[in-house]
Amino acid sequence: MLISVALGAGRLDPAAADELLSLALSAGLEPVRTIQVRRARQDPALFIGSGKAQEILAQIEAEPIDAVVFDTELSAVQQRNLGRQWRLPVIDRTELILDIFARRARSHEGKLQVELARLEHLSARLVRGWTHLERQRGGIGVRGGPGETQLELDRRMLGARVRRLREQLETLRRQRRTQRRARDRRPAFAISLVGYTNAGKSTLFNTLTGASTYAADQLFATLDTLTRRVTIEPGGECVISDTVGFVRQLPHQLVEAFAATLEETAQSDLLLHVVDASAPDRDDQINAVSKVLDEIGASNVPQILVYNKVDRSGHDAGRAIDPCGSIAVVFVSATSGAGLDVLRGIILHHLERWRQVRELDHGGPRSAATSNC
């Protein structure tokens, strides 16, 4: 069962409900019923209130439902209370996304990042009503003393694992910085593909670079950052990176855990912000991506909006001119190739400007930060 909740004056968004359905399918669940709930404010104990919780219990008992998924983040108490009342696993949005990331991570670094995010989320939810967590264990050299509870022991072990993961990721981050310095000694124009999940970044990456990255019509099809060196024109070399897709209400634990990977985005010379032109809520998706870019310090990197999937949206492939007089938007189809010649021309335009700034300022490839105009 999928449950979407609108609080206060917020409206029930059909696009958000469709996204929850896609997330559930990506996690391997089989949704059988979707419920939309409107409340003035959340209930501290049950989130949706006792009356609505009882009403949903009747539906759960009448249908073959094994789990309930909320399209919002629940507190540990709310999750525990609802699970007890419904006698089913209750999953919130954060746990759902973390589960999808855990399924899709392939590289060693990606697996470490996802495990760190899951453990940090779990640390606030160790109290789940499991009675064994409150049993005491005698301390070494202590007779008749209070000892250490299982809950305290579990928290200490979890904390130790989190520290080890942070140390490993910091080592990988230092290695990435060393690789970046080596790359800067023979600089190439650095481009990062960013955008909402399932906007077509991997398909566009494959088309531009000739790579064979896995691409599918599903959320978070790829998580690991891939980088390829491409020659746009004779003597015009670029380094293009495909990054993890973003989503509304992306769990903070994931943003923090993927900081080492997302750091590459902030160090880019140009961002290709890929947008699904056929999505009815594309403006909301653009805002969600912009929010994450701001969090990771990449909001000032020159950016081009690449409206993808024009073959589905009915838009004509081509370009638009922004008020500053430079090309800011391009409409393409990564599948059919429509508009990609225009996109390559835009990339060359930014590459030439980057070269000109480097010739005037020998401070290095990253000193060429220019405005979006």
pLDDT at 137 (0 to 100): 45
Mean pLDDT of all residues belonging to the chain: 78
Q: Are residues 364 and 229 in the same domain?
A: yes
Please indicate, yes or no, if residue 213 is contained in any of the structural domains.
yes
| Domain-located, residue 158 | no
Confidence of residue 84 (pLDDT cuts 50, 70, 90): very high
Same domain, 87 and 192: no
Give the total number of structural domains in the chain: 2
The answer to the question of residue 112 being in a domain is no
Q: Based on the fold, state whether residues 195 and 72 are members of the same structural domain.
A: no
**Host domain of residue 192:** 187-368
Residue 164 has pLDDT above 80, yes or no: yes
Calpha distance 253→169 (Å, rounded): 14
- Domain end, chosen from 91, 112, 129, is at 91
Domain for residue 270, yes or no?
A: yes
Rg (CA), the chain: 24
Least confident of 26-35, 119-128, 147-156: 147-156
User: With 50 as the cut, is the pLDDT of residue 18 above it?
Assistant: yes
Q: Which amino acid is at 357?
A: V
Same domain, 212 and 354: yes
Would you place residue 242 in the very low, low, confident or very high pLDDT band (cuts 50, 70, 90)?
A: confident
The pLDDT score that the predictor gives to residue 16 is 82
Q: Three-state SS across the chain? A: CEEEEEECCCCCCHHHHHHHHHHHHHCCCCCCCEEEEEECCCECCCECCHHHHHHHHHHHHHCCCCCEEECCCCCHHHHHHHHHHHCCCEECHHHHHHHHHHHHCCCHHHHHHHHHHHHHHHHCCCCCCCHHHHCEECCCCCCCCCCEEHHHHHHHHHHHHHHHHHHHHHHHHHHHHHHHHHHHHCCCEEEEEEEECCCCHHHHHHHHHCCCCCCCCCCCCCCCCEEEEEEEECCEEEEEEECCCECCCCCHHHHHHCHHHHHHHHCCCEEEEEEECCCCCHHHHHHHHHHHHHHCCCCCCCEEEEEECHHHHCCCCEEEECCCCCEEEEECCCCCCCCHHHHHHHHHHHHHHHHHHHHHCCCCHHHHCCCCC
Band (pLDDT 50/70/90 cuts) for residue 185 is low
- Asked if the structure places residue 267 within a domain, the reply is yes
Position 362 scores a pLDDT of: 56
Final residue of a structural domain among 91, 125, 158: 91
What is the CATH number for 7? 3.40.50.11060
pLDDT value of position 166:
82
Residue 218 confidence (pLDDT): 54
Whether the predicted model's global pTM rises above the 0.75 cut? no
User: For residue 272, what is the domain's CATH number?
Assistant: 3.40.50.300
Average pLDDT of span 237-264:
74
More confident residue, 203 or 169: 203
**Which of 50, 75, 91 marks a domain boundary?**
91
pLDDT-derived band at 210 (thresholds 50, 70, 90) equals confident
- 192 and 87: one domain? no
